[in-house]
């Protein structure tokens, strides 16, 4: 990426934002890594692991999470677009995302 982005700081912002906005979901882990999309633009791939099954989670609420996170990323000087993936801890076990 062009900017020296602090991935730990981004992870913290994402976790704090989701915790405050979606208090019925327990976030276990947030993994952030920089990437480039198919057009060559910088992006942030953010994997959010939550406790439980994915069925009780309101998907419309999760799909709007980017609108909550982007202004807070801008506040810390990060303009890179975040792509969020939400994964239950049950689904993440085989993907090595739940631990750490």
Q: What is the pLDDT of residues 3-59, one digit of tens each?
A: 446 899 999 999 999 988 777 788 899 999 999 999 999 999 999 998 876 556 667
Q: Read off the tokens for 43.
A: 């992006």
- The CATH number corresponding to 7-95 among 3.40.1260.10, 3.30.300.30, 3.40.50.620, 3.40.630.30 equals 3.30.300.30
Instruction: Check if the beta carbon of residue 54 is closer than 8 Å to that of residue 86.
Output: yes
Band (2; pLDDT cuts 50, 70, 90): very low
What end-to-end distance do the CA atoms of the chain give, in Å? 24
Model confidence, pTM: 0.80
pLDDT of the residue at 57 = 63
**Token pair for 93:** 């076990």
Cα gap 75→73, rounded to integer Å: 5
Q: Tell me how far the alpha carbon of residue 54 is from its chain's centroid.
A: 16
Confidence band for 90, pLDDT divided at 50, 70 and 90? confident
DSSP tag of 81: E
């Amino acid at each position: 990426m062009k900017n020296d982005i602090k991935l730990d700081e981004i992870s913290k912002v994402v976790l704090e934002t989701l915790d405050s906005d979606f208090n019925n979901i327990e976030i276990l882990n947030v993994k952030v890594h920089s990437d480039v999309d198919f057009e060559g633009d910088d992006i942030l791939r953010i994997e959010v692991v939550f406790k439980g099954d994915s069925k009780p989670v309101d998907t419309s609420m999760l799909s709007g999470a980017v609108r909550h996170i982007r202004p807070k990323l801008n506040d810390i000087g990060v303009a890179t677009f975040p792509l969020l993936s939400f994964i239950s801890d049950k689904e993440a076990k085989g993907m090595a995302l739940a631990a750490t």
